Structure 1
Amino acid sequence: MILALRVVVLAWLVAACATPPTHPVQPPAELPGTWLAQGRLAVTADEEAWHGTFAWHQAPAQVLIEMAGPLGQGSVRLREDHTGALLEVGADQVFHGRDTEALLREQLGWSLPVRGLRYWITGRPDPDRPAIVRRDEAGRVISLEQDGWDVACTRYLDVGAGVLPHRLVLEREALRIRLVIDRWQPGPLAREGS
């Protein structure tokens, strides 16, 4: 009887000393093939800086990224599908190219890593490319290195069915891109075909 009581007291003491988790652990959310992410963006390249808002519309065969500076100034619209890439700067400049990354670099002097970012923005590495990935205890990506980019997922957002990145920082050489995703929406591409 005394031995049993000692075991119970010891178990109770061990349990009392355990540190409870500071937040519930949630797995990363699974997004369908079509989704929308909206938020804020800051780009620093060499001595230049740009910030504004973005809307990323992703479909299986198409991506549409809309960016605008403060008060809608400096709007950029980027679309890529099986026919190539289209970049609209403001209301009157339209550029065409084979892919979004080369087109942005040529026209704006910096490039958004669209190929990898379509995965990174959802908290995953590109499954078709080698990567070094660090995860937290829930399996969420904390940081990854892929295609010469260092990507940090510094905060996640509860979207009901799990969590998705809320803050990301991408760095490569003298380029730093910071994304804050304020809204995730699974479903049809809002501007498909436009």
Structure 2
Amino acid sequence: MTRLFTVFLFTVLMVGCASRPPSHEDGPQPGQWDAQESTLEALERWQLVGKVGLRLPNDSTSANLDWHQGAAYYRMMLTGPFGSGRSVLEGRSDEVTLTTGEGRFEAETPEALMQEQLGWSLPVSSLHYWVRGLPAPDRASQREMDDRGFPAELDQDGWTIEYRDWTLVEDLWLPRRMVMTQDDVRATLVVNEWEPQVDND
């Protein structure tokens, strides 16, 4: 199960009406995505708490996620009910480390770390864009918008990311539920708490 946690960790494992601002229950309104997209592009720091699930052809698992993202550092911690403790992925500009019950592993990039530990790799470096509803820059992508002008589906790096639900946090609409699929791998992220830090970390 530790290995399954590790797989998702890397896959894993974002204004209003003229008369009044929308309530959370109203959901996103037309025009709001265009109004906030530049703010999301500049957003470099946040804390996110949620639950992740991974479904593979022969198995499935889930875990709790605590993700701290800084301008030059990130830390993702997964804890779950399988008795394997926790898995922690930490990244800086020149180093990525993964700490599990099996030890501590290092590499220059998360993709390289996956290749070394799992024998294959995923586009980990794109996730902090996808979780804001944005495509990673400088690579081909296709994005479909819903009837309110919000991202509904993003295709990039061989993955399809579906945005199933949004939550309003500090005047920003951010993804609350995302489903990411590639071939027969399906990863789901449900965010229980978003704390964007627009100014200083």
Common fold by TM > 0.5 = yes
1:62 lines up with 2:62 in the alignment: no
Give the equivalent residue in structure 2 for 1:13. Answer: none
1:48 lines up with 2:59 in the alignment: yes
Once residues 110 and 141 of structure 1 are traced to their aligned partners in structure 2, the CA distance between those partners, rounded to angstroms, is 29
1:133 lines up with 2:143 in the alignment: yes
* CA apart distance, 1:69: 1.1
Do the aligned residues in 2 keep the contact of 1:170 with 1:177 (CA within 8 Å)?
yes
1:184 lines up with 2:194 in the alignment: yes
Secondary structure, aligned partner of 1:104: helix
Stretches of 4+ aligned residues off by more than 6 angstroms: none
1:107 lines up with 2:111 in the alignment: no
Once residues 180 and 23 of structure 1 are traced to their aligned partners in structure 2, the CA distance between those partners, rounded to angstroms, is 17
Do the aligned residues in 2 keep the contact of 1:121 with 1:165 (CA within 8 Å)?
yes
1:142 lines up with 2:152 in the alignment: yes
Give the equivalent residue in structure 1 for 2:87. Answer: 76
* CA apart distance, 1:127: 2.5
Q: 1:185 to 1:166 in 2, by over 3 A?
A: same
1:123 lines up with 2:144 in the alignment: no
* CA apart distance, 1:113: 3.5
Once residues 150 and 65 of structure 1 are traced to their aligned partners in structure 2, the CA distance between those partners, rounded to angstroms, is 22
TM-score (norm 1): 0.76
Q: 1:105 to 1:154 in 2, by over 3 A?
A: farther
Letter of the 1:51 partner, please give it: S
Once residues 111 and 86 of structure 2 are traced to their aligned partners in structure 1, the CA distance between those partners, rounded to angstroms, is 17
Once residues 152 and 166 of structure 2 are traced to their aligned partners in structure 1, the CA distance between those partners, rounded to angstroms, is 10
Gaps of 5+ in 1: 1-21, 190-194
* CA apart distance, 1:110: 7.1
1:153 lines up with 2:163 in the alignment: yes
Give the equivalent residue in structure 1 for 2:45. Answer: 34
* CA apart distance, 1:107: 2.7
* CA apart distance, 1:74: 3.8
Give identity over the alignment, percent.
Answer: 32
Give the equivalent residue in structure 2 for 1:88. Answer: 99
Letter of the 2:140 partner, please give it: P
Give the equivalent residue in structure 1 for 2:184. Answer: 174
TM-score (norm 2): 0.73
Point out the structure with max Rg over C-alpha.
Answer: 1
Once residues 102 and 49 of structure 1 are traced to their aligned partners in structure 2, the CA distance between those partners, rounded to angstroms, is 24
* CA apart distance, 1:87: 0.3
Letter of the 1:163 partner, please give it: W
Spell out, residue by residue over 1:130-183, the C-alpha distance to the aligned partner (whole angstroms, 9 max, x if none): 111001233211001001111101111111312100000111122211000111
Q: What is the aligned-residue RMSD (CA, Å)?
A: 2.4
Give the equivalent residue in structure 2 for 1:192. Answer: none
* CA apart distance, 1:96: 0.7
Q: How many residues align?
A: 167
Gaps of 5+ in 2: 1-25
